[in-house]
Amino acid sequence: DGCIQQVAKAQVEVHARADFLQYSRQITLDPNTANQFLVLSEGNRKVTHNNKNKPSPDHPDRFIQAPQVLSKDRLTGRCYWEVEISGTVGVAVAYRNISQSGASPALMFGYNDKSWVLYCSNSYAFMHNNTTAFISGPQSTRIGVYLDYSAGVLSFYSVSETMTLLHSVKTTFTQPLYGGVFLSSPNGNTAELCELK
């Protein structure tokens, strides 16, 4: 069983969104990794959970057990993106070689040492390597993610009129990183990678 850390209050750090938009990256999702219950649309920027199991061609990168999907392009340098969410959604970054098949939940974002995820519903929970930190922070339907790969910094923000830091980690990344989205099972949960200007 993973450790459960104390509830962490979001650090009262308010940031100017413009400071991050200079690093904005348009991310699209990779259909070859999408679980069979996920439907991609809007040029592979939007993902919706559909309770109907849709036929999907076999692919070694496809998530079979977990309702999640990875981005098509790797994330390098400094980059920032935003995800508009509805329902219970996980916003993640992960190594490409995260196990796509096998026993669940070990392959789900956050339950291994190859992924970092902020789970969002009525509250927030950050997970990495099967350790959970529950986070108290302002609710928003938009989550901002900032990555500085070489510095080993990954930060999640609640985005509204201001940006509030929810959780940040400092680590050493050892493989290329990809964005990821997890959608919980209730039909209709969605996440959309925003087009930033």
Question: What distance lies between CA 151 and its chain's CA centroid?
Answer: 19
Select 17-51+64-194's CATH number: 2.30.110.10, 2.40.128.20, 2.60.120.920, 2.60.40.10.
Answer: 2.60.120.920
pTM of the shown model: 0.90
Taking phi first (over 0 means left), then psi (-120 to 50 degrees means alpha), and beta for anything else, what does residue 129 get? left
Sketch the domain layout of the chain as residue ranges. Answer: 17-51+64-194
pLDDT tens digits in sequence order for the chain, 197 residues long:
444 444 455 455 667 888 899 999 999 999 999 999 999 999 999 999 987 777 778 888 889 888 999 999 999 999 999 999 999 999 999 999 886 656 667 889 999 999 999 999 989 999 999 999 999 999 999 999 999 999 999 999 999 888 999 999 999 999 999 999 999 876 679 999 999 97
Q: For residues 1 and 4, what is the distance between their CA atoms, to the nearest angstrom?
A: 9
